[in-house]
Amino acid sequence: MNIGNEAQFQIYQMRLNGRYRGEPLCISHEDWVARAKEALSPEAFWYLAGGSGRGETMRANEEAFAKWRIVPRVFRDVAERDLAVELFGERLPYPVLLAPIGVQSILHPNGERAACRGAARLGVPYIVSSASTYRMEDIAQAAPDATLWFQLYWSRDRAVTESFVRRAEATGCKAIVVTLDTPMMAWRERDLERAYLPFLLGEGLGNYLSDPAFRSRLRRPPEEDPTSAILLWTQIFGNPSLTWADFDWLRQTTKLPLLLKGILHPDDAEEAFRRGVDGIIVSNHGGRQVDGAVAALDALVSIRSRLGPDRVVLMDGGIRRGADVFKAIALGANAVLVGRLYGYGLAVDGERGVETVVRHLLADFDLTMALAGHASVASIDARALTPAKAP
């Protein structure tokens, strides 16, 4: 049975087997947001849900999907669907990955370990953040069957950067995702009004505090002097002086597939592939960095047009429902990343919440694909869409 039909049937069956208690189930994106807001402190909720400035980029990410309409086709056999995609020689069951989210311990006590286990139960790759509260090694141990990628925040200290890459290789990560849009943190009004930066409270530093290169810079171990360790983190996090020459060094440092995350301009996309990148992720950091920036979906269209069909291009930003996944693939994404969506699931119900919210997204996508007349992800292209008429 396809995941869409299976998930749908399981929900409807709850009434028949007495498991439905009369209260509305948590199904929609809006439901998960509301429940997470109830479950979290205001500081934690807005750290997850907030953006930079007035939130224009966050809104643009969602509104960009409304510019396109799906054109369903009929008399096509869609009884069996193939949702799989291939990335870097590995077959993935769905065109969805879980984006890196830092400091997940503020959302749930088990943080990244719980989120990774939820992803593993579905076979969805989980991208470990440099800024995770738990060490990458602990996350891998918590979910031995998980497909892991590693997200790299490029440190001012090159030795720390290289050490993170070596650890990711040893941990079994399948790719390195380099986030480029955060050389420094943006003006995030919701966090600033509460003077809240969880890293200064010791959250989200698991990879740093355990790293041999980072620890070698300290006079005393972090266990004995956490304040000095946090201060060192503030001094090395982010690197606003990076250039393409630095990427050349990283390309020579690892044989793992390298993806650059935060690409929004076609010229940068072309340069990335010219210098040997394996893939890019079109992203504006979920609207958390530059307020008023181009929507990720709009950038995807222009970048795919420039690159042609053969390059690996992923995207994130504004994915809320199955139709969003469908539209992103039709407009050129090989796969998409979801972030806040599973973060809300983690906050509401830990590992099970992550599995549930991602399963619902996949089920919605599966049914959307079938109802649009497509039996495989490979068959979805721009002909499946038409521009929405201007109001």
265 is in an annotated binding site: no
Q: Tell me phi and psi for residue 370, to 5 degrees.
A: -65, -45
Q: Is 288 annotated as a binding residue?
A: yes
Q: According to the annotation, is 289 in a ligand binding site?
A: no
Torsion region of 155: left, alpha or beta (phi above 0 gives left; psi -120 to 50 gives alpha): beta
CA quadruple 29, 30, 35, 36: dihedral, nearest 10: 70
Judge whether 339 is annotated as a binding position. Answer: yes
Q: Choose the catalytic residue: 108, 285, 360, 374.
A: 285
End-to-end Cα spacing for the chain: 40
Q: In whole angstroms, give the CA distance from residue 368 to residue 361.
A: 10
Whether 285 has a binding-site annotation, put simply, is yes
Q: Is 285 a catalytic residue?
A: yes
Q: Running DSSP on this structure, what letter comes out for residue 84?
A: -
Q: Is 316 labelled as part of a ligand binding site? A: yes
CA 161, CA 2: separation in Å to the nearest integer?
Answer: 42
Give me 168's structure tokens: 């990711």
Helix (H) or strand (E) run with residue 198 in it: none
204 is in an annotated binding site: no
d(CA 105, CA 13): 34
Is residue 151 within a helix (H) or strand (E), and if so which, with residue range? strand 148-153
Judge whether 172 is annotated as a binding position. no
Residue 286 is assigned to a ligand binding site: no
Q: Tell me: is residue 102 an annotated ligand-binding position.
A: yes
H-helix or E-strand containing 266? helix 266-274
> How far from 224 is each of 71, 197, 218, 228, 323, CA to CA, in Å?
62, 22, 11, 9, 51
d(CA 322, CA 102): 25
Phi first, then psi: give them for residue 261, nearest 5 degrees. -110, 130
**Residue 374, marked binder:** no
The answer to whether 129 is a known ligand-binding residue is: yes
Asked if residue 54 belongs to a known ligand binding site, the reply is no
Tokens 């009884």, located at residue? 79
Q: Which residues are catalytic?
A: 285
Give binding residues for FMN as ranges: 100-102, 129, 151, 179, 261, 283, 316-320, 339-340
Give binding residues as ranges: 47, 100-102, 129, 151, 153, 179, 188, 261, 283, 285, 288, 316-320, 339-340
Q: Which residues are annotated as a binding site for glyoxylate?
A: 47, 153, 188, 285, 288
